[in-house]
Amino acid sequence: MKTNNKLIVITGASSGIGAATAQLFSKEGYSLLLLARRVEKLEALSLPNTICKKVDVTDITAVKDAVADAEKKYGTTEAIVNNAGLMLLGDLTTQDPQEWKRMFDVNIIGVLNGMQAVLPQMKARKGGTIINVSSIAGRKTFPNHAAYTGTKFGVHAITENAREEAAPFNVRMVTIAPGAVETELLSHTTSDEIKAGYDVWKEEMGGVLKPEDIANAIWYAFNQPQGVNVREIVLAATKQEA
């Protein structure tokens, strides 16, 4: 086990991309603050030098308090990975508007909250990295994705705008845009018909990315010298045409 006494914050770390990213950074010796609604899943990862907190990313006070507590123990945040997200697919003409609100709250407000929790300190010390997990659906549209793509196009725009503002302070901003990944994300969708169609699509392309593939992309961007900002990484299964 490597050690370097630097803190990495990861939201939505209880499963999928977040959990894989936590395991990779832990293996590389980083101290971690893991945030999610299911704290028992965080604790089950059993990672050393890790603080696990049950936090709703839409609660800015809770996010900031968790970061402040972790920084008291492990020092300033070297990077945050804003990974928490919801994908509630649906036909815009019939979808429950509460599903739109939930997605915009988590996918947009949650990302902004995570950014604000660390950005002032990063700008003050002239260094740090903010990595926001978006989607290919933040660059192009898909059937039954109208509200979801709205949130992910927003993540792309927010990250790029914030990058321009933070660049003079030597703070990096990275957008990670995966295609289909084998995670629990689809399970949030309430339409069985849409979920079945999505599963058929994944089978037709012969499988999708693994969470570890995204974690490796995050590590690649982070592991560049501070003077190198990999602004965006778009990755998908080779057979994913869309």
CA angle 13, 153, 121 (to 5 degrees): 55
Instruction: Provide the residue type at 107 as one letter.
Output: N
Instruction: Provide the residue type at 241 as one letter.
Output: E
CB burial readout 181-197, b (16+ within 10 A) else e: bbbebbebbebeebeee
Residue 25's closest CA among 44, 8, 45, 42?
8
Catalytic residue of the set 30, 148, 198, 220:
148
**Distance of alpha carbon 133 from alpha carbon 40, whole angstroms:** 23
Quick one: tokens of 182? 């084998």
**Distance of alpha carbon 157 from alpha carbon 107, whole angstroms:** 13
CA angle 6, 221, 147 (to 5 degrees): 105
Q: Where are the alpha helices (DSSP H) in the chain?
A: 16-27, 39-44, 60-74, 97-104, 110-125, 146-166, 192-204, 211-222
148 given a catalytic annotation: yes
The residues annotated with a catalytic role in the active site are: 148
